[in-house]
């Protein structure tokens, strides 16, 4: 158990004494000692997801002791597009590393480019379409981790 002591000055608490103490016994969280995990993008084999994009999983439950999220790099060729889909459980974040695209989430479309971050709430239909001029490369973070079983196609 951890004990937290809160000291209060009399002017703030209207107490006659110089300070007050509040002790809260809070159970300490038990942490498992896990060594640092560092995975090289170059060492990850590419595969095609259910939506048609080619990704390399940087950190997920297949290559690291990941429990609550996953991180991958995705690529689309010029004019490439993912199949419109949604994830019932996973919230996604995209971060554009290279290229430009049109992002669509539940019917709303916006142009996105290098340096843009995109929030894709769980349960929203979405797809990304790379510009005709260049390939698109972006990071995908999913929480809970990405799974084919949580990908629903149109």
Mean pLDDT, consecutive 10-residue stretches, the chain (154 aa), reads 49 50 57 80 91 92 92 96 96 98 98 98 98 97 92 91
pLDDT at 29: 56
Whole-prediction pTM value?
0.77
The pLDDT of residue 53 is: 87
Domain ranges of the chain: 1-30, 41-153
Q: What is the pLDDT of residue 20?
A: 52
Instruction: Please report the pLDDT score of residue 102 as a whole number.
Output: 98
Contact 63, 39 (CB under 8 A): yes
> Among 91, 102, 104, which Cα is nearest to 136's?
102
Predicted pLDDT at 42: 94
Residue 13 confidence (pLDDT): 46
To the question of domain 41-153 being in CATH 1.20.140.10, the answer is no
């Amino acid at each position: 158990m951890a004990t937290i002591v809160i000291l209060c000055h009399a002017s703030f608490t209207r107490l006659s004494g110089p300070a007050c103490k509040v002790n809260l016994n809070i159970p300490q969280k038990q942490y498992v000692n896990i060594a640092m995990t560092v995975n090289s993008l170059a060492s990850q084999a590419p595969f095609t997801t259910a939506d048609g994009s080619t990704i390399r999983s940087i950190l997920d439950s297949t290559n690291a002791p990941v429990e609550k999220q996953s991180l991958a790099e995705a690529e689309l060729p010029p004019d490439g597009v993912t199949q419109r889909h949604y994830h019932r459980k996973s919230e996604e974040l995209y971060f554009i590393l290279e290229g430009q695209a049109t992002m669509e989430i539940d019917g709303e479309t916006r142009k996105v480019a290098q340096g843009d971050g995109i929030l894709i709430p769980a349960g929203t239909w979405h797809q990304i379409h790379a510009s005709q001029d260049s390939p698109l490369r972006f990071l995908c973070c999913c929480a809970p981790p990405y799974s084919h079983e949580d990908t629903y196609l149109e």
